[in-house]
Structures are given as C-alpha cells and as structure tokens.
Amino acid sequence: MDRRRISILGVTGSIGANTVDVIETLGVEQFETVAVTGHANIAALADAAQRLNAEIAVTADPGRLDALREALAGTGIEAAAGPDALIEAAQRPIDWIMSAIVGAAGLRPTLAAVRQGATIALANKECLVAAGSVFLAEIERHGARLLPVDSEHNAIFQLVAHETTPIERLLLTASGGPFRTWSMEQMAAASPKQAVAHPNWSMGARISIDSASMFNKALEMVEAGHLFDISPKNLEVVVHPQSIIHSMVGYGDGSILAHLGPSDMRVAIGYALAWPERPDLPVDRLDFADLARLDFEAPDEVRFPPLRLAREAMEAGGLAACHMNAAHEIALDGFISGQIGFLDMARLVEDTVASLDCGPDAETIDVVFEADATARRVARQWIETRAA
C-alpha cells in the first residue's frame, strides 16, 4: 500500500504534539508528511517538521519567517510564512489532515483541505461552530470525509458507527473544570492562571480556560448538533468529574451506550488516524477497582451560563453560533490580558449575540467571515466601553 500523505495544521499545539506522538508510535515511515504549520513557537515547528521529515513547515506569522528558515537551515525542508502560505500548504495534495489550529483562524486552511476532498481529522471545533452548515456543505460537495477528534464527539462517532436506529438523546460529558465547586464570588475573582489548571486533561491554554468557564462545552454542543444532526432538546450535558466516560448515546429502547477510556487525546487522534481500524496505543488502561466509582451531576447554568447561551444560539439558528464563537474568542483574549473578569466573558458574549441579527443560515462562507468580523467588532467595543 502507498504511504498515506498527511498534513498537520497546528502541529506546535497540544493536539499537534499528541498527533506527532501517535504518528511516531505507529511509525513515521508509514506516512509521507507534506505540511506542518504553527504560529509563534518556531522551535517546536522546526522540531516537528524534522521528526516527521515534512516537505514544508509554515508559520502563520510572516514576522517569524527568518527564524523558521534559520531553524530549518540544511534540512532540505521548505519554510514559508503568512496566511496565504498556510492555505497553499493545506492545498498540497494529501489523503489526511489534522485540523488543530485554535480558533476561527483554523477555518480557511481547513477549508482548503476540504476542497481537495481529503479526510479531515477535526479537532478545531470552531470550524463547525462558526460555519456549521456551510462547512458541512463544502465537505459534501468536495467528497471530503470528516472524522471528529474532540474527545466527546470522537466517542459518539465510535458509538454510532454500527447503529442504524435514530439517536434519541446525546449526553455530552463535562469534567466541570477547576471551578466546578467554586462560588460565583470566587469565580468573579478568578485569574487566568487558576482557570488554566484543568483537573484531568492536559490541553492548550485557551481550551483549558474554556473548560473552566464551560464555553468549551457550549461550543461542543453546537459542534455535536451539526455532526450528529441533533436538536438542542435532545442534547444534554452531564457533569462527570472523573472524565472517564467521554460521552453517551441514548436510543428509543432505553439503552444508553457509553464510551470509556483514559483522559488522553491520543485515543481520539489515533482512532481518526487509523480509522476504520483501531491502532495499538501506549495509553493507560482503565483499572475499575482502582477507579471504584464514577460520579455525575447536573450542570449549574447559573454559574456556567455558556451552556444556556449555546442552547439559545442553536435554537435561534442562522449566524447566532458564529456570533457566539467570535464574541467568545474576543472575550477570552480580554480575560487572558486582564481587561475583563472571568464572569464577564459570558456577559460579553450574551450581549454581543443579543445585539446582532442572527438572520437565516449562511449560504456562503463569505457571509460567515463577515458575521465573524462584525461580532468581533461589537465584542471589542463592549470591552472598550467598560474600560473607559
């Protein structure tokens, strides 16, 4: 069999590093790595490019091209930089691509890979939250295949693989994050350092903070709605602090199927890489006597309003989730830079979404980019008004 041609968008991040790890476990020689991309971390980008013997390494930041060239000098690996170079790299013919850039910045390069009909291992949930039905229509039009990597969605994808009966309900599990038991007063004063400290998963800084606010679960609700064609009334979030059950699917006969495994993203990444087979992976095996118990609780939508915001955005349809995603990215920037407090993030997103007309579903990707830009502008104004 020919070696599969693969690329990795966001190779320098947490998902990117885990993807490199899985590839090395399965054998670098099994794959022909075409492109790897990063942004600020040039040392990690050059290191990944060399470990995978990639054709080209691209940083999204044009100001870092010289540093990348220097880091790759003598390796024979091409270096490029900037948003257009990112898209050009994603257009290079491949069979499989990992989409693991964080935020809506991942949408254009992922679409470039979709348009060549590749298999898309999708970690970047923002593609589906911001562009939803337009993104899925592009997948369909170009004969691309979508394999969800987000652990909950990967779990559900595994659970429904052999089922022909319609799903009655989806239960997305949530760890509850580091502030699960915190009071509103404590949360109002929370620092980025406290928010980033996830109890179970080791992830990038932004998604870790999103786990603390439950914005991550909010984005995942919209993501699940698109991936599994589920309306918000059939979608539940259940807090499960141990992060052992990665999600559940309920059917009309009362059966609930659950996917269990270690809290290790290599499981979902490996499944997407080896699909339709399962790879052997050196991850921890569950010991049930050691675990002893699994706990569940209802999410608190007063302390964690993003869950309500997601449901409202799904019910509103149109561009509401796109506005929510864009406003959330600005809110997160504002929290990380100390301009707004932890609980302000949800207030900012709610006000931004409420002030914009969600309209009908977008029919083109340009409409999505416009809506994204508008919501970012409104959200930035919200922060400026408060700072003034």
> What x-and-dash track marks residues 293-332 binding ligand NDP by CB under 6 A?
----------------------------------------
Q: Which of residues 68-127 bind ligand NDP (CB under 6 A)?
A: 100-102, 105, 123-126
Give the end-to-end CA distance of the chain in Å, rounded to a whole number.
63
- Gap between the Cα atoms of 388 and 383, Å rounded: 9
- For Mg ion, the closer CB: 53 or 200: 200
User: Do residues 33 and 95 make contact, with C-beta atoms less than 8 angstroms apart?
Assistant: no
Regarding 226 and contact with ligand NDP (CB under 6 A), the answer is no
Phi, psi of 259 (to 5 degrees): -110, 125
Record the tokens describing residue 308, joined without a space: 């309500």
Regarding 150 and contact with ligand NDP (CB under 6 A), the answer is yes
Determine which residue in the list 5, 10, 129, 358 makes contact with ligand NDP, applying CB under 6 A: 10
User: Do residues 214 and 304 make contact, with C-beta atoms less than 8 angstroms apart?
Assistant: yes
- For ligand NDP, the closer CB: 41 or 194: 41
- For Mg ion, the closer CB: 95 or 220: 220
- Gap between the Cα atoms of 162 and 151, Å rounded: 19
- For ligand NDP, the closer CB: 187 or 219: 219
Q: Which does 307 bind (CB under 5 to 8 A by kind): Mg ion, ligand NDP, none?
A: none
Q: Which of residues 146-205 bind Mg ion (CB under 5 A)?
A: 150-152
Q: Which does 116 bind (CB under 5 to 8 A by kind): Mg ion, ligand NDP, none?
A: none
Regarding 12 and contact with ligand NDP (CB under 6 A), the answer is yes
- Gap between the Cα atoms of 326 and 318, Å rounded: 14
The CB-of-243 to ligand NDP minimum distance in angstroms stands at 11
Residues binding ligand NDP: number (CB under 6 A):
29
Nearest residue to 241 via CA among 307, 151, 176? 176
* Class of residue 146 by CB neighbours under 10 A (exposed 0-12, middle 13-18, buried 19+): buried
The angle at the Cα of 387, spanning 324 to 309, to the nearest 5 degrees, equals 20
Record the tokens describing residue 357, joined without a space: 């007309």
Q: Which does 14 bind (CB under 5 to 8 A by kind): Mg ion, ligand NDP, none?
A: ligand NDP
HSE-CB of 380 using CA atoms within 13 angstroms: 6
- For Mg ion, the closer CB: 95 or 150: 150
Regarding 126 and contact with Mg ion (CB under 5 A), the answer is no
User: Do residues 228 and 170 make contact, with C-beta atoms less than 8 angstroms apart?
Assistant: yes
The CB-of-220 to Mg ion minimum distance in angstroms stands at 5
Q: Which of residues 358-387 bind ligand NDP (CB under 6 A)?
A: none
Determine which residue in the list 265, 330, 331, 345 makes contact with ligand NDP, applying CB under 6 A: 265
Helix (H) / strand (E) containing 49: helix 42-51
The CB-of-277 to ligand NDP minimum distance in angstroms stands at 22
> What x-and-dash track marks residues 33-52 binding ligand NDP by CB under 6 A?
-----xxxx-----------
Residue sitting closest to ligand NDP (CB) = 13
Stretch that binds ligand NDP, among 13-21, 155-163, 178-186, 352-360 (CB under 6 A): 13-21
- For ligand NDP, the closer CB: 206 or 311: 206
Q: Where are the beta strands (DSSP E) in the chain?
A: 4-9, 31-38, 56-59, 78-81, 96-99, 119-122, 145-148, 169-174, 235-239, 245-250, 256-260
Strand-strand pairing, 56-59 and 31-38: parallel
Which residues are at the interface with ligand NDP (CB under 6 A)?
Answer: 10-16, 38-41, 60, 100-102, 105, 123-126, 150-151, 201, 203-207, 265
Tell me which residues touch Mg ion (CB under 5 A).
150-152
